[in-house]
Amino acid sequence: MRTLVPAKFIVERDADKCIKCQVCVNQCTFESHYYDAEEDDVKTRAGKCIGCHRCVLFCPTGALNVRRSPLEYRDNYSWIPEYIEDIQKQAEQGGMILTGMGKDKPQRIYWDHLVLNASQVTNPSIDSLREPMEMTTYLGSKPDKIEIDLATGSLKTKLAPQVKLDFPVMFSAMSYGAVSLNVQHSLARAAVEAGTMWNTGEGGLHQSLVKYGNNTIVQVASGRFGVYSDYLKAARIVEIKIGQGAKPGIGGHLPGEKVSAEVSLTRMIPQGTDALSPCPHHDIYSIEDLSQLIYALKEATNYTKPISVKIAAVHNSAAIASGMVRAGADIIVLDGIRGATGAAPKAIRDNVGIPIELALASVDSRLRAEGIRNQASLVISGGIRNSGDVAKAIALGADAVNIGTAALVALGCRVCQQCYTGKCAWGICTSDLKLTKRINPEIGARRLVNLLRGWKLEIDDMLGGMGVNAIESLRGNRLHLRGVDLNEKELEILGVRMAGE
């Protein structure tokens, strides 16, 4: 069937600069470039380019450029080009439209409507280059009070397991198969060097990554892929995944073309078969059921590891979070509507869930109002783009944040949203052994560490400007935030005042 969907990108080739080296042919995984032996020329196939820029950046002579198609549609606010093209695709394919990455619609991003405070005159700022700035964060349940033996000075209160972070930014859950093994090695190495955590996702833990266990979070999801006793014992934190921001209410889906021999071994499923996670956990239909699993995992790990529970940010997140804390969760992870994924139905990604800023503020406020905020750490993800977002998240009440897309962008991702195809030209979201070699774990780890170091320096300056020398002093301190161009209800939910007040 001939497609009626026009090309999104046009590849321009400067014939005077092109030396026919075929680098573009070898680098492009979507067959946009090809070599015509009869004419001894390198040519481009219309409609194949997905805008990943790999060919442009690797062309030795700078002969290539990629730009958007200039094709114009008649103006119609109800029938924008995206809706027309989606219908054309479904008329041709007869199925759901899959996509990768997170929501890309122009919905309000509340981080951009929040501004931070700075000290002037009465509360002197701190020079972060000359004075120490404390970024250390501890994740885990905290007691209501601490008792000390006055005779010995020792701690009488028994503390729940705690995990120390040198910087409150961790790497989001990205499973083996969804991303390549070299990506996971990059994340794990960077986590060790930066003093933070990386997350295996729901795809199990490859044996070559066990050595990074002290900086590893493992997931127990509805599919239970790769879950067994050694898997739980190898990690520092065990996370129960209930949902994720990119596809709340539905299970995971790893296409069979990405389930290689190594992936099948790690996930404990047949090679080449789709890895389908059920929508619900079939042993969790209530808060009481969740509590049973939490304590089963605590028993299995001899009460030595914090148990985290991850949910998508939805309408009743605050009430759910309250139940999770009372069920015994040591860490709550909220994943917002802009959270990314390797594969999700486009309709779900774009229409289900709520912004992480509103969910974070409402959950933090609810737990504080009930007097149980100290009983669980609060981690958020789904749309953290820069150090400013991190600082604002901490001020809204988060103990730490997860970054996924930002980490992949640091490794070379161009956010082309073709993750589900398994053809990632940058070697990130693929199981193709030829392509995975494009990620060098040593270089990848260095790039990720550099990113975190850069963000830390920027947050040091932000804190210093506020007259604050420790990240703990910013946590949940919404007096350091003001809203811009927000209505009264939004300000109420966020718990901040309007700029100028």
pLDDT digits (tens, 9 = 90+) for 434-473: 999 999 999 999 999 999 999 999 999 999 999 999 999 9
CATH (residue range 137-498): 3.20.20.70
End-to-end CA distance of the chain: 61
Which residue ranges make up each domain of the chain? 9-95, 137-498
- Any binding-site annotation on 49? yes
- Any binding-site annotation on 416? no
Looking at residues 32-48, what average pLDDT do you find?
Answer: 93
CATH class of the domain defined by 9-95: alpha beta
Provide the residue count of the chain: 501
- Any binding-site annotation on 413? no
User: What is the predicted pLDDT for the residue at 1?
Assistant: 82
Write the DSSP assignment of 143-204 as a string of letters: -S---B-TTT--B-SPPPP-EEESSSEEEPB--BTTB-HHHHHHHHHHHHHHT--EE-TTS-
- Identity (one letter) of the amino acid at 70? P
Separation of alpha carbons 362 and 413, rounded Å? 32
- Determine contact, residues 221/177, Cβ cutoff 8 Å: no
Share of the chain above pLDDT 90, in %: 85
pLDDT at 36 over 90: yes
Looking at residues 232-258, what average pLDDT do you find?
Answer: 91
User: What is the predicted pLDDT for the residue at 30?
Assistant: 95
pLDDT at 255 over 80: no
> What is the pTM assigned to this prediction?
0.94
